Chains A and B, each alone.
Chain A
Amino acid sequence: MHSMEGRHVLIAGASQGLGRALAFAASARGANVTLVARSEARLREVAEELGDRAYTIVADVAGPSAAARIAGEASDRFGAVDVLINNASTLGAVPMPALFDTTDEVLRDVFDVNLFAPFALARAVGGGMVARGRGVIVNISSDAAVEAYEGWGAYGASKAALDHLTRIWAAEVEGSGVRFLAVDPGEMNTAMHAAALPDADPATLEAPEVVAARVLRMIEGSAGNGARLVASHWAAKEVA
């Protein structure tokens, strides 16, 4: 067991949806939480509810020097980052175009937010984790990384790349005490889901709070370095 009590959890993309739910769940377990997102108003709302064990950073994770700035600011507030959750993500163009209709710009933007930004943040805090011999880096993936859904080309490719980056990074740190995990959270009732699939029946989607609780149990529990966890399967395992 890796308790969250007193740990510093940095969540990129924490103003709404799964990231917001993760912030509440981590805080409820006694963690100090740093929340990152672009929307100052929404972030402030979340932070006010969380109180002084939360710190917010208004930043675009894909902005210049964002990783070094976020890592520095966060560590000044709560000390070394123990858990990094790379949750911020973009779909790219909405409605989601076929690949023949996807511009280079859209592809690049999607990779900037979904791959380069998590990479830079993991590099910014991961070296310190190896030096201390402990830490967890969670990259939030998607089943679009595995399945070939039409229209999900840019997003799916970026998440597939993120998955593979996670696996290789895990192999490179194996035995160091640091864990890299990829998590497919499953279909959740969030703004992103509504933007991608506006016709979906919300009743068929999970609440992000339910998924967040599961993700935290994965981090606290024995999920091994390099694992790719599918939240819905994990739930079934817990029941069994």
Chain B
Amino acid sequence: MKATTLTLPPARARRARHEVRLLAIDRRTGAATRHGRIADLPELLEPGDALVLNDAATWPASLFGRCGDAPVELRLAARRGDTWRAVVFGDGDWRTPTEHRPPPPQLVPGDTIRVGEDLSALVLEAEGRLVTLRLDGSIHALYAYGHPVQYAHADRARRLEDVQTAYATRPYAFEMPSAGWGITPDVLHACRRREIAVLTLTHEAGLSSTGDAALDARLPFPERYEIPRATIDGLRGRRVIAVGTSVVRALEGAYARFGELVEGEHETDLVVTSRHELRVVDGLLTGLHVPGESHYELLRAFLPEPLATLAVQTAIASAAYLAHELGDAMLVTTTR
């Protein structure tokens, strides 16, 4: 089977959290050790392990507005104080796949996008459809006008609560850190009862696509993260299982830059691929991704080829799994 022919059906109607299926893969062999459910996670981990979550809540990152007469959609992609980075889309709605949208007008510094009576965006810098903005308006107004970024392959528009993990806390992500979609507080509670440490960090999971091939090639952009002291202390000496690529990026990014994990807010431009040698993270819970996606590249840091391909083939062969952000999950650990 050629790598490029590997596909999984995308999830249209999302799984309810507790329905998320979990494929457990052994890091040494790429073979399945369990075809289960997310509720099996605690027993698939060992007492003493640390499970690290990205507790970022997802911003209502999509804003529709007008620049002069031209309708545009802004998709917020990063925040630095009241300055935001955004990708601009032309007219259309969430049902239009981004690649089929008409191009947006070329914005220039000084342009203003009016979103609503008490919210507008002043363009500070523009590079094609990538812009830096100052939002003039309150966070309250942002929540009033903003919607979650939508996926064209979903069966209905998603509400703000539909793009939050069950443990979402501070708004910090621009797309849901979706690997943890199925993890309910009850799963976390069961982990603790099994003496698995549950730890959190916050990472600015950014956009996964911009509708522009040249820009997409530059993804992911540098992203912010913050690791609390309790997490740094808590994971010392433990086997570390990251929930999602954003957690891998934060932990490995911190280590790559500082040679250790440090407290406070920092930025990383680390792109984890098969060439990256993991220094902090031992295991990964992730969505099901196929070759060509950046998440799949990151998976190969845990499962060097041909093991990653084998794992994806296993998922396809069982016909039980849904791919993409709204789908099922894969746990990659070294089983003892």
| Among candidates B139, B189, B200, residue contacting A176 with C-beta atoms closer than 8 Å | B189
* A57, B171: Cβ atoms closer than 8 Å: no
Q: What mask results when residues 111 to 125 of chain A are scored 1 for a CB within 8 Å of chain B, else 0?
A: 000000000100111
Chain A residues in contact with chain B, CB under 8 A? 57-58, 64-65, 67-69, 71-73, 75-77, 79-80, 120, 123-128, 130-133, 172-173, 175-176
* B198, A69: Cβ atoms closer than 8 Å: no
* B159, A128: Cβ atoms closer than 8 Å: no
Q: What mask results when residues 140 to 184 of chain B are scored 1 for a CB within 8 Å of chain A, else 0?
A: 100110000000000000011100111111110000000000001
> Size range of the interface on B?
20 to 34
* B160, A131: Cβ atoms closer than 8 Å: no
The residues of B that contact A76 with a CB separation of less than 8 Å are: 139, 170-171
A172 to B188, CA, bound (A): 12
If the complex has contacts A69-B143, A133-B192, are A128 and B169 also in contact, measured as CB distance less than 8 A?
yes
* B159, A64: Cβ atoms closer than 8 Å: yes
**B57 lies within 8 A of chain A by Cβ:** yes
* A127, B170: Cβ atoms closer than 8 Å: no
* B170, A173: Cβ atoms closer than 8 Å: no
User: 30 interchain pairs (CB within 8 A)?
Assistant: A68-B159, A68-B161, A69-B144, A69-B160, A71-B57, A72-B57, A72-B160, A72-B171, A73-B139, A73-B140, A75-B57, A75-B171, A76-B139, A76-B171, A79-B169, A80-B169, A126-B185, A127-B167, A127-B188, A128-B167, A128-B169, A130-B185, A131-B55, A131-B188, A132-B200, A172-B186, A172-B189, A175-B193, A176-B185, A176-B188
Closest to A64 in B: B159
* A131, B198: Cβ atoms closer than 8 Å: yes
* B185, A65: Cβ atoms closer than 8 Å: no
* B168, A127: Cβ atoms closer than 8 Å: yes
- Separation in Å of the B151 CB from the closest CB of chain A? 18
Q: Which are the 10 A-B pairs with shortest beta-carbon distances?
A: A130-B185, A127-B166, A131-B167, A128-B169, A68-B160, A68-B161, A127-B167, A65-B160, A72-B171, A75-B170
The residues of A that contact B140 with a CB separation of less than 8 Å are: 57-58, 73
- Separation in Å of the B191 CB from the closest CB of chain A? 10
Given contacts A73-B139, A130-B167, A176-B192, list 5 more A-B pairs with CB under 8 A.
Answer: A71-B57, A72-B57, A76-B170, A76-B171, A128-B167
A193 to B195, CA, bound (A): 48
Which of B55, B164, B185, B200 counts the most chain A CB atoms within 10 A? B185
* A131, B200: Cβ atoms closer than 8 Å: yes
Closest to A173 in B: B189
The residues of B that contact A176 with a CB separation of less than 8 Å are: 185, 188-189, 192
The residues of B that contact A73 with a CB separation of less than 8 Å are: 139-140, 143, 171
**B205 lies within 8 A of chain A by Cβ:** no
The residues of A that contact B185 with a CB separation of less than 8 Å are: 126-127, 130-131, 173, 176
Closest to B142 in A: A73
A71 to B165, CA, bound (A): 13
* B186, A80: Cβ atoms closer than 8 Å: no
